[in-house]
Amino acid sequence: MIFRLFCLALPLVAADLRVATFQADGTPGVGEAVAYVAARSIEDPLSARGVVLLGAGKPIVLCAVDYIGIGNDGNDVWRERLAAAAGTTADRVAVHTLHQHDAPRYDRTAALLLKNAGLDGRVFSEEMTMRGLEATVAAVRASLGKAQKVTAIGHGKAKVEKVASNRRILGEDGKVKIGRMSASRNPEAIVAPEGTIDPYLQVLSFWNGEKPVAVLTYYATHPQSYYGKGDVTAEYVGLARAQRERELPGVPHIHFNGASGNVAAGKYNDGAPANRPVLTGRLAAGMKAAWENTKRAPVPKEVEWREEPVLLPGRTMASRAELEKTLADAGAKFESRRSAAIQLSWLQRVEARKAIGLACLRLGNLYVLHMPGELFVEYQLAAQKMRPESMVLMAAYGDYGPGYIGTAVAYGQGGYEVGPGASKVTPDVEEVLMSGMRRLLR
């Protein structure tokens, strides 16, 4: 089976590049659904924020949302609405989440399936999501009249110390022996090496003369310190982002989560609440160091937005009939019914052969890849090796529909991330995505 569809590349000379920044509140109300339970308190606000690039053909929209995930037709809705607000097309809009676990999630089809099963509002809140989306749409529209000229592009990178560690610790048999998740008190997990990670945080900045007008950061890790009680928070990634905005007043900061499906803070975090400010400080220090390492260059002559629609090789944990039976079973566990609805939404997409768009923003010798799902960090590292002479950044957690996306070898190693309940794709996904990235980085 051939999974590649086609590639769109629109090389343009950006003679008058401008950038507009937007931000909208996305905080749920107490009692509304977040990832696993209803919100019981608001620790700190959530937001949707991003930039609109103007002057290089149709506008390009990059948006980062403080949600655990926005998937399938839910991601389509966000991109279509932001595209209309910016005067562009949905294929030139990238919507990503930061994957905080005490934050909402959205999948329109799964939400409808749950509503029809009498579980409306338990997992997805259409009203809450539309409230946040409408605010974001209004913010995008309002930003266009305040766009600033871009005279230079900045890039910097720095190591982040004692945050990221690989979640999958293998035994002598090559299988996953220990799952080192976002928090761990297992002595073996704590003393084990960090494993495969990308230790670098990268920063992309847009400048008007000597003034920075927008800062975008990229770092690969699950962003959890502790979670699951309904205390809404943007977590240490959002708190570090806020700290940097206080240190650079008036400069909007947009953070994107890199390929971190198999990366978390488990080596350095035992889940104690006191660790959240520690992780915040370490990440903020990495952001600051990358900022201080920034080198500026004039706006490159060519600015491109490239899209590569691909069909991912799908799988589900059960047949359609079994999933529908579980969803309709009022006596089944709520978690099982929730999972069945999410799996059915993905199955409908697979059966319809609906592609997912990979995308790349090229700014001269700097490439920003926009990828779906909970991508393993090996994809990010591989992309950097594809263009070793260039600066390659990655935002993952785009379309959340496929869930975890492992490497081919990972599916034979076992572990939570590649089980059919977590990963809705087969090992063939590696060839599809690696080929797509090569074309985008050509």
**What phi and psi, each to the nearest 5 degrees, are found at residue 327?**
-60, -40
Query: The tokens of 272 are what?
Result: 């104690």
Which residue matches tokens 């060519």? 302
Question: H or E segment at 74?
Answer: helix 73-86
**CA dihedral of 203, 208, 210, 212, whole degrees rounded to 10:** -30
Give me the pLDDT at residue 7, please. Answer: 43
The kind and range of the H/E element at 52 are strand 47-54
- pLDDT, tens digit only, all 442 positions of the chain: 334 443 444 444 455 999 999 999 999 999 999 999 999 999 999 999 999 999 999 999 999 999 999 999 999 999 999 999 999 999 999 999 999 999 999 999 999 999 999 999 989 999 999 999 999 999 999 999 999 999 999 999 999 999 999 999 999 999 999 999 999 999 999 999 999 999 999 999 999 999 999 999 999 999 999 999 999 999 999 999 999 999 999 999 999 999 999 999 999 999 999 999 999 999 999 999 999 999 999 999 999 999 999 999 999 999 999 999 999 999 999 999 999 999 999 999 999 999 999 999 999 999 999 999 999 999 999 999 999 999 999 999 999 999 999 999 999 999 999 999 999 999 999 999 999 999 999 9
Domain ranges of the chain: 8-440
227 Cβ partners below 8 Å, 6+ apart? Answer: 35, 36, 100, 101, 102, 182, 233, 235
pLDDT, position 2? 38
Residue 23: name the closest of 187, 111, 146, 115 by CA.
146
Q: Are the beta carbons of 170 and 177 closer than 8 angstroms?
A: yes
d(C-alpha 328, C-alpha 118), whole Å: 9
Q: Using the 8-state DSSP alphabet, how is residue 92 labeled?
A: G
Torsion, Cα of 277, 279, 282, 283 (10° steps):
-110
